[in-house]
Amino acid sequence: QVQLQQSGPGLVKPSQTLSLTCAISGDSVSSNSAAWNWIRQSPSRGLEWLGRTYYRSKWYNDYAVSVKSRITINPDTSKNQFSLQLNSVTPEDTAVYYCARGVEMATSWGQGTLVTVSS
């Protein structure tokens, strides 16, 4: 059974970088049949799929158009985890952030991290 454990700060200042990590157990970040995703949820934007990383003989990343210029998702094979970096955050980026496993739908989810963007 796949388990995902999120970590990272819950408060980020405007214009700074939001950074979260998702540790994987029960699967490998390098799996050829999985994808590793970040999804966020806020009252104003609902559930929003931000992006994913996956390995198919080489690494690929896909990002939502809404955050494409600000987002990076990186795998860390040495620690079997993946990370989210979102640059130049504003209060609009305040949300609960989830990591999730799934190629087209999210089959396993992390516990969620409330990230507040405020000075």
Partner 1 sequence: EIVMTQSPATLSVSPGERATLSCRASQSVSSNLAWYQQKPGQAPRLLIYGASTRATGIPARFSGSGSGTEFTLTISSLQSEDFAVYYCQQYNNWPLFGGGTKVEIK
Please select the residue that binds partner 1; options are 90, 104, 118, 119, rule is CB under 8 A.
Answer: 104
Residue 61 binds partner 1, judged by CB under 8 A: no
Say which residue the tokens 């490998």 belong to: 28
| Nearest to partner 1 of 62, 76 (CB atom) | 62
CB 49 within 8 A of CB 37: yes
Q: Is 27 in the site for partner 1 (CB under 8 A)?
A: no
Residue 59, CA distances (Å) to 31, 52, 55 in order = 11, 11, 5
Residue 65 touches partner 1, criterion: CB under 8 A: yes
Q: Which is nearer to partner 1, 32 or 105 (CB)?
A: 105
**105 scored as a contact of partner 1 (CB under 8 A):** yes
DSSP string, 52-115: EEEESSSEEEEE-TTTTTTEEEEEETTTTEEEEEE-S--GGG-EEEEEEE-SSS--EE---EEE
Q: Decide whether 11 or 47 has the Cβ nearer to partner 1.
A: 47
Q: Which of residues 46, 78, 118, 119 is near partner 1 by CB under 8 A?
A: 46
Q: Is 82 in the site for partner 1 (CB under 8 A)?
A: no
